[in-house]
Amino acid sequence: KTVNKDSNNVMARQIMLSVGARQLGAPATPRKGAEAIGRWLESRGLNFPELRIENGAGLSRIERISSRHLGELLVDAFNSPYRDALIESMAALGMEGTVRNRLKGSAARGYGRFKTGTLRDVRAIAGYIQAQDGEVYAVSIIHNDASAGSKVKKAHDKLIEWIFAASH
């Protein structure tokens, strides 16, 4: 919870390093962390050829994952025994963490759990929204270009609201 809700990048990096050292031996290195995570994904049948992990926190111009594959990871996690722990670790839409000020006045407030990512010219949001019809949907949006500013953030929020309100 401490890492995800408030986006603690230092702790995220330390977790990646610890996983690498535990799985592949000391000393802890970013390469070992990335390799251990890649092996774990493969063990779950998740093959993401474009995936690049540099520091474990996403604060990197080198790190890569497609929005589609991030969505597949979210679906896999939702169907795993760790679903509740993951969802609880993510910030509640319009209420806490990095999404505390997003969609505060919306009926969707509190119905989504998300993790955000921001770099210059990059905005991302990924997580889950429980729609009004009771269905839970995985959402993964990555916008990567010079226009990734407040207009993009508003577009992401409108898509989340649309998913929340849609009857499927």
pTM score of the predicted model: 0.93
Q: Is 145 exposed, middle or buried (0-12, 13-18, 19+ CB in 10 A)?
A: exposed
pLDDT classification of 11: cutoffs 50, 70, 90? very high
Question: Residue 168: pLDDT above 90?
Answer: no
The token duo for 111 is 């119905």
The span from the CA of 94 to the CA of 110, in Å, is 6
Tens digit of each residue's pLDDT (9 = 90 or more) over 62-82: 999 999 999 999 999 999 999
Tens digit of each residue's pLDDT (9 = 90 or more) over 106-141: 999 999 999 999 888 899 999 999 999 999 999 999
Q: What is the largest CA-CA distance in the chain?
A: 51
